């Protein structure tokens, strides 16, 4: 069995795979103040609760966009799994031609997503990860990672507006009944959410135009993917386990 961890700015997603079958997945908060033992106890409890044996894990693959937590998580893996984890870094085998000018700048989660999209859906396609940041990636018809775009996520936009103004509140991220709001809350909901949906559609359509493929498939993942799909017309499929499956595939490629 393989254990995969995707460490994001807000959450850590983890999954246990038996071959290509996902047995169980979890999500916990990314907390820079927690120790390796605290994370270890969380993992012990999760494995025990789900009837899984931590000692049956043969390998661990990690993607992280939070470098300051890496040492803690690696230490936890050694102490509680008895395994040296593999951290997704530039130079690892991915089976993907990455056309980024400087691949070392590319986030490991985006690499994992690109590998999973190329393997499962093929190109030409666009993938979007609706996380703390909103990241877009493009896979060509030749299954090359061509690049993409990065913007703020919905929660970040909400927090920035509330934190950067004196009187505007933080609001619940639900679609208002109309674009023309009649309260401060619905005004903010309209501005953030309809504006965000419009930006997603604009970026996807421009990417399709530059690719010369107006029907390129769009795959979404991340916490806000369902809301965006329900309120826009560009997302074809939601794959909640995209990053974790990409990590599994990369581990298999590097273990031969």
Residues labelled as active-site residues: 109
CA 43 to chain centre: 21
Query: CA–CA separation, 128 vs 134, rounded Å?
Result: 7
Using CA atoms, how far residue 88 sits from 5, 13, 150, 222, in Å, is: 10, 15, 20, 19
86 sits in which H/E element: strand 86-87
Query: CA–CA separation, 54 vs 44, rounded Å?
Result: 7
Name the one residue in this structure whose structure tokens are 């029907």: 215
Whether the upstream peptide bond of residue 124 has omega within 30° of 0, thus cis, is: yes
């Amino acid at each position: 069995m393989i254990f995969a961890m995707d460490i994001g700015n807000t959450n850590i997603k983890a999954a246990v795979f038996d071959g290509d079958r996902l047995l169980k997945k979890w999500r916990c908060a990314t907390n820079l103040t927690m120790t390796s033992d605290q994370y270890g106890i969380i993992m012990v409890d999760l494995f025990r609760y789900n009837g899984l044996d931590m000692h049956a894990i043969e390998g661990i693959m990690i993607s992280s966009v939070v470098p300051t937590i890496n040492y803690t998580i690696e230490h936890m893996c050694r102490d509680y799994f008895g395994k040296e984890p593999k951290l997704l870094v530039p130079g690892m085998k991915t089976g993907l031609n990455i056309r980024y000018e400087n691949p070392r700048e590319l986030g490991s989660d985006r690499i994992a997503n690109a590998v999973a999209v190329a393997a499962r859906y093929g190109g030409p396609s666009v993938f979007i990860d609706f996380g703390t940041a909103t990241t877009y990636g493009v896979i060509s018809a030749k299954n090359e990672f061509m690049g993409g775009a990065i913007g703020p996520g919905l929660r970040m936009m909400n927090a920035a507006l509330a934190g950067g103004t004196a009187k505007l509140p933080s609001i619940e991220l639900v679609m208002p009944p109309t674009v023309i709001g009649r309260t401060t809350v619905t005004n903010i909901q309209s501005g953030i959410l309809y504006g965000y949906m419009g930006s997603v559609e604009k970026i996807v359509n421009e990417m399709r135009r530059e690719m010369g493929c107006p029907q390129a498939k769009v795959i979404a993942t991340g916490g806000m993917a369902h809301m965006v799909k329900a309120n826009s017309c560009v997302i074809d499929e939601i794959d909640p386990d995209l990053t974790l499956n990409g990590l599994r595939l990369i581990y298999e490629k590097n273990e031969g």
